[in-house]
Chain A
Amino acid sequence: VQLEESGGGLVEPGGSLRLSCAASGFIFSNYAMNWVRQAPGRGLEWVACISSRGSYTYYADHADSMRGRFTISRDNAENSLFLQINRLRADDTAVYYCTRDPGFQFNSPHMDVWGQGTTVTVSS
């Protein structure tokens, strides 16, 4: 069971980025998936979740700083998860983790498998 993120890098404020996560070793289409981020020296912050078939998406958009700028999607045929981030801000600088969620379908989301993360740096 493995998750491998890619797509991070240095981006100027206001720019966009699309992160990818390649899944292997399990039936990807059976699981909801999440993105979680961690700013330097800070704690874990949930970003978004997508149901197993992609029918439902949820975002941490109660946080003003994140509202409306993130889009989570998936391609079950390619065993891939994506996160599109627009209008990037300096406080989006973080390691972004892709995680598997076996509990979402039972209304108890959690993360039993994590990737190693991809680093996004927003700076001019």
Chain B
Amino acid sequence: SYELTQPPSLSVSPGQTARITCSGDKLPKQYTYWYQQKPGQAPVEVIYKDTERPSGIPERFSGSSSGTTVTLTIRGVQAEDEADYYCQSSDNSGTYVIFGGGTKLTVL
């Protein structure tokens, strides 16, 4: 079955740049989306269509794509960015949704 692979965890100091990767062999053919989930809360979409940022999401969040890997970049990480981050894409037909396993971002 199709899988999206993320690193389980990442630690950065405040003010540094966090880069969270997501790999999958169908990613060149389908858009990727990113969600932020803080403890006890529902997920929030922070990037759509690989690189677009929804209104209300800080500019320090950005997305990029290269081949079978997409990256969520958070520049100038703040304490409030500590959360779990999930990538999401779909199969070639665009009907079945797949999530990555999630990356726990810790702000030191």
User: How many residues does chain A have at the interface if contact means C-beta atoms less than 8 Å apart?
Assistant: 24
Partner of B98, one of A46, A104, A111, A115: A46
Determine if B61 is an interface residue (Cβ-Cβ < 8 Å).
Answer: no
| Interface members, chain A 41-91 (any B CB < 8 Å) | 43-46, 49, 58, 60, 62
Determine if A124 is an interface residue (Cβ-Cβ < 8 Å).
Answer: no
Determine if B58 is an interface residue (Cβ-Cβ < 8 Å).
Answer: no
| Interface members, chain B 44-98 (any A CB < 8 Å) | 44-45, 48-49, 54, 84, 86, 88, 90, 93-98
Chain A residues near B42 (CB, 8 Å)?
97, 114-117
Stretch at the interface among B11-19, B20-28, B30-38: B30-38
Q: B102 and A43: CB pair below 8 A? A: yes
Determine if A110 is an interface residue (Cβ-Cβ < 8 Å).
Answer: yes
Q: B54 and A109: CB pair below 8 A? A: no
Q: B45 and A60: CB pair below 8 A? A: no
Q: Which residue of B lies closest to A58 (CB)?
A: B95
| CB proximity of A14 to chain B, nearest CB, Å | 27
Q: B35 and A44: CB pair below 8 A? A: yes
Beyond the given pairs A36-B97, A43-B84, A109-B95, 16 more chain A to chain B contacts, judged by CB atoms under 8 angstroms and listed by A's residue number, are A43-B86, A46-B97, A46-B98, A58-B95, A62-B96, A103-B31, A104-B95, A106-B94, A107-B95, A108-B31, A108-B49, A108-B90, A109-B90, A110-B33, A111-B35, A111-B88
Q: What are 27 contact pairs spanning A and B, CB under 8 A?
A: A34-B97, A36-B97, A43-B100, A43-B101, A43-B102, A44-B37, A44-B43, A44-B102, A45-B99, A46-B99, A49-B95, A49-B97, A62-B96, A104-B95, A106-B94, A107-B94, A108-B90, A108-B94, A109-B94, A109-B95, A109-B97, A110-B33, A110-B45, A111-B43, A112-B48, A114-B42, A114-B44
